Amino acid sequence: MTKKESKIVVAGDVTVDWFMYPVKARDEGENWRLHDASHADVLPGGAALLNSFIKQSIEEEEILATVTGSELPEKKLRNFSPEEIIHSNAMLDNFKTSGDKKTEILRIKEFSGYIGPSENKPPSWMLSLVSKKVNAEIIVLDDAGNGFRKMENLWPKDLESVEDSIVIYKMSLPLLDGSLWKKVNEMHPKNLIVIINASDLRRTAGIHISKSLSWDRTAKDLIYELNRSDPLKSLHQCPYLVVLFGTDGAVLYRRVKEREDEAFVIFDPCLLEDSFASNINGNMIGLTSIFTATLVKQLAKEGFYGLITGIQKGLANSRSLLEIGYKKNNGSESHDALEYPKLKEISEGSVKHTYSCSSIELPTNLKNPDPNFWRILDHNTHNIRQLVAREIVLKGKANGLENVPICKFGDIKTIDRAEIESYSSIKELIIEFLKNQKPKNPLCFAVFGPPGSGKSFGVKQIAKCIDTNRDLLESISFNVSQFGDYQDMVNAFHKIRDLALSGKVPFVFFDEFDSDCNGQPLGWLKYFLAPMQDGEFKEGDSIHPIGNAIFVFAGGTRYTFEDFVQNSHGNGSTPIVVSSEDNKTDQNSVQETEDKDKEFRNAKGPDFVSRLRGFINVMGPNRQPSKEDDDDAFIIRRAQLLRVMLENDQRATSLFNSKRELSIDDGVLRALLNVTRYKHGARSMTAVIEMSRLAGKKRFDLSALPVKKQLDMHVDADEFFFLTEKERYQSMLLLRDLPDPKETSFLKKENSIVESVAAAMDTSMCENKVSPRKGKITKLDKDASFEELKDAAEDIPNKLWAINNGIRKITGKTPHIPDITGDEIETFARLEYGRLCRNKRLRQLSDSSEGKTFNNSMLQSKNYDQLEEKEKDRFRELVYTIPPILKKAGYEIYRMKNVEEISDPEIINRLARDLHEKYVQERQLKGENRETNPSLVKFEDLPEDIKEANFDNIKKIPEKLSWIHYSTRRIQQDEEQRELTLTEKEIETMAKREHDRWVWQKIMQGWTYKEGKKDFVNKTSPFIVPWNKLPPDTRINDFNAVRLIPKLLKEAGYKAYKSDSEKSD
């Protein structure tokens, strides 16, 4: 079957772009060639340039498509007057490339503005660009704000009825203005894509979108403004909006339907906004045009499915064009003619530029753009954070970090948003300061962190990445705590002044600036005020100007900026999260706060703070929670530090294999990553590694650790060794899930959780007297002492980790349905048997009396594999009691894996009702009625737990498909919605897992096994059994449930594809 040829129409503002560029003298030839000169050349611009790029893109990919639209006859370009076509003017220059001083790249040095027709007069030649109606599949509008938007007679005739056509609107200032946008907006084309630059959006009154701080903040700011700002309302309602952040990233905002949006940030994970361009000398016209052309090509090739890929490739091509610059060919006798590089060269140069993609959390309210300090890191690793941290240490990288920003400042590489923003903001301040040739006063900022957190190192790395050649800044440091009197400070300022007079900008590090002076707390602050404010210092009766300088104030006794302004001494401990109840302080604490505030004012603290232009709180390896953020990402920071420390330790060389994989004991790694606090920050981490006996070792095991007294200098040794023994609840739970955030003792918190789980075990046994699967409680359970229950509860995290499951607090109406397979139940049972055997032997060693569990000599003489199936079943049944017990204690378990869920409430509700209707029909055909099956009622009349089960069934469709290695995504608007075809083998695999899921769902709803008929009143069923014991006629129900999935998936608007390809089976 012959593929239909696509038609693409391009229209918009056109320009004639004039370029002046230097031409070097030749060694021979006519006299005029022997002199340096400037030549002028002209190229088509605006929509004509875009049209050219689109044509080349289509030809390069050999796509069957015809491009018609804005073209300018190149031979006549020099003859067009500004009255006919607007002229743009730019000065070019030859720029050296970094690393290759011989190669010169021709780019724009300076834009010189535009020349156009007289006031209120349109360019006359544009009247001849009217397009005929061609029934185009793609309509491209290049609205540069130069008159095209007002001239309806120039608009493509295809705009009169767009129907299913893709309309790409490339918009420039003034935004959302003119009759063209009004017409397009009123037509409500379902396939409208608006492309706009963030720099233009930022010029809109009342719009605040951060820049170059972090992709997380920029993305959240933009989405917030789109949702709350009236001037951007029409953009918010676009089916597709693409906002470009230079060549470094973009945000795609998609309106799926009314009140159901989705957003994605596409970004260079290693660079922030404008970072790439700032390292390129000169500029280029056409960066947005080449982006648009690439996107058009991808849409023509793949439809809307290619949208994100098109954005990624478009950004890469924009960068490549900027790198390559303008070309010169032998176009005339007098000089080499100017031209844009060919698409082939641009595409080849773009391959090295890669971009990541992450969905963006949509705003939950319009009062605060980011109330929960959203992180791309958290979003991509929330279910696998522990796995990612351990993989970083073991392998140096982790699979969960592909779509996470990782920024580098000199020799510092950070993945944490808070650190990225701190360092980025100071970097931008310094860059702006250095652009000012005659600043009125020094640039002042502060840096805080515990001793050993890397305050000095971090700030110096910022300076290093700005002044790579070390020809702008000169570093000098002073420790204020060592000043004896004011004269010492005067001497310091003289040294700074001498540096400034030498022509470099002094980069001054005042360490421990918050030290006491002659017994007065913060006594040195007042002496810094004049130098900070006026750039001068006093010596006797003389006033000395300091000159251009950057002052960095590093805290020594206050570990955060907040500690400093509250006049609170840091103690190096993890900050406490305080609840609203805790704010009811007594009279003593109120008085203490007032005294501290008075002391801060007397020391001129507020005056000092008012002169600062920024601050950094160095995060370091310890958790730094705040009101907005629990800082659960600390473990990733810690993992990165640990990996670097071990790689840099020469004694640890033998710990790495040829693939640079680290050999380390699980318990040692767990303790290093999860110990609550390193007492002296990164310095303590380094000390623990240095004190460990690693020389010549092939594995970092427990024997390599320092003795307890030495270890206790840098961590809580009891806690550290406690963590080495096994997985603990606290190493798996988030901070908000812990029982008492104010409690500082790790052991006490762990014991509190263990006791709550043990109490739930005790209550569960007393209430039920049955196990979910066998219907009869074991003697072990009935006779177990509370200490034995605590021991069993304490070991649960260890077993969950072994089967790749985590634990967390229940936050929804119902707990997460466990995803534990038959093989994993066997693993769990084996571990439980081993625990009981160990405990039995330990008790026999300490007490010759008979144990209280059950009299069974097998605990001493057999391993698990030697047990009879009946004996093994007793331990398998214990596994099924764990999730309900954890539920009673307020916890749920989940698989440590990132899997998409269907999230649209309307889709979930609709399909859950459809699913229930099909269930009712099937059961009625089998002769069941409401008396035998109370679930055969309208969906509205179902009990809440049954409704939630139906909702969960729909939400988990992507997870079920992952069992057979399928991934899912939303179907794009113009994509064919074919129903997924599953093989019989895939259906059987899913049916087995579906039965496991159903069993767990029933158990979590309080159902238990009992032979006979299903009893809805007493919640018993004969089918709560393993798959191999399920009757064949009952298995049909699971097969039928699986066969429904392709239809439900299609109705939900999703497509399944094999995870290693984009081919739907």
Instruction: Give one DSSP letter per residue of 945-977, joined into a string.
Output: HHHHHHHHHHHTHHHHHHTTTEEEEEPPTTS--
Residues 6+ apart with CB under 8 A from 182: none
CB-based contact 45:64 (threshold 8 Å)? no
757 pLDDT higher than 60: yes
CB-based contact 949:1019 (threshold 8 Å)? no
Structural domain spans, the chain? 7-359, 372-413+630-725, 417-617, 746-895, 905-1058
The residue written with tokens 């005294």 in the block is 595
- Rounded Cα gap, residues 987 and 647, in angstroms: 47
971 pLDDT higher than 90: no
CB-based contact 524:536 (threshold 8 Å)? no
Mean residue pLDDT across the chain: 87
- Rounded Cα gap, residues 221 and 594, in angstroms: 36
CB-based contact 288:315 (threshold 8 Å)? no
Give the pLDDT band of residue 1062 (cuts 50, 70, 90).
Answer: very low
Domain 7-359 in CATH 3.40.1190.20? The answer is: yes
The pairing of beta strand 1020-1021 with beta strand 1008-1009: parallel
pLDDT of 1060 reads 54
pLDDT of 853 reads 47
Q: Write the DSSP assignment of 324-385 as a string of letters.
A: H-BEEE---SSSPEEEPPPHHHHHHHHTT---EEEE-PPPS-SS-S-TT---HHHHHHTTTH
The pairing of beta strand 407-409 with beta strand 542-545: unpaired
CB-based contact 397:645 (threshold 8 Å)? no
- Say how many C-beta atoms besides its own lie within 10 A of residue 642's C-beta: 22
The DSSP secondary-structure symbol of 794 reads: H
331 pLDDT higher than 60: no
Give the pLDDT band of residue 74 (cuts 50, 70, 90).
Answer: confident
The DSSP secondary-structure symbol of 700 reads: B
- Rounded Cα gap, residues 488 and 222, in angstroms: 49
The residue written with tokens 């000098």 in the block is 476
- Rounded Cα gap, residues 406 and 937, in angstroms: 53
Amino acid at 529: L
- Say how many C-beta atoms besides its own lie within 10 A of residue 81's C-beta: 13
| Choice between 5 and 507, residue whose per-residue pLDDT is larger | 507
Structure tokens at 150: 């007002």
pLDDT of 620 reads 84
CA atoms within 13 A on the CB side of 201: 29
CA distances, 681 to each of 356, 571, 598 (Å):
32, 11, 31
Q: Over range 889-911, report the average pLDDT.
A: 85
- Rounded Cα gap, residues 391 and 400, in angstroms: 9
Phi and psi (nearest 5°) for 785? -75, 165
Phi and psi (nearest 5°) for 1038? -70, -40
- Rounded Cα gap, residues 301 and 6, in angstroms: 10
Comparing CA positions, the residue from 886, 664, 674 lying closest to residue 795 is 886
pLDDT of 126 reads 62
- Rounded Cα gap, residues 808 and 893, in angstroms: 6
| Choice between 419 and 27, residue whose per-residue pLDDT is larger | 419
Helices (H) and strands (E) in the chain, counts: 36, 30
Residues 6+ apart with CB under 8 A from 93: 21, 22, 106, 107, 109, 282
572 pLDDT higher than 70: no
Phi and psi (nearest 5°) for 167? -110, 120
128 pLDDT higher than 60: no
pLDDT of 259 reads 63
Beta bridge pairs of residue 111: 90
Comparing CA positions, the residue from 534, 524, 458, 448 lying closest to residue 492 is 524
CATH topology (fold) of 417-617: Rossmann fold (3.40.50)
Phi and psi (nearest 5°) for 800? -60, -40
CA atoms within 13 A on the CB side of 83: 1
> Which listed CATH number (1.10.287, 1.10.3470, 1.10.490, 3.40.50) goes with 905-1058?
1.10.490
Beta bridge pairs of residue 41: 19
* 675-685 pLDDT tens trace: 999 998 889 99
The 10 Å CB-count burial string (b at 16+, else e) for 589-611 is eeeeeeeeeeebeebbbeebeeb
Give the pLDDT band of residue 576 (cuts 50, 70, 90).
Answer: very low
Question: What is the side-by-side order of every strand in the sheet holding 192-197?
Answer: 65-69, 6-12, 138-143, 166-171, 192-197, 240-245, 249-257, 260-267, 356-359
Q: CA torsion angle for 261, 214, 578, 594 (degrees, to 10)? A: -130
pLDDT of 579 reads 39
pLDDT of 588 reads 66
Beta bridge pairs of residue 45: 15
Say which range, 428-432, 509-513, 780-784, 1018-1022, has the weakest mean pLDDT. Answer: 780-784
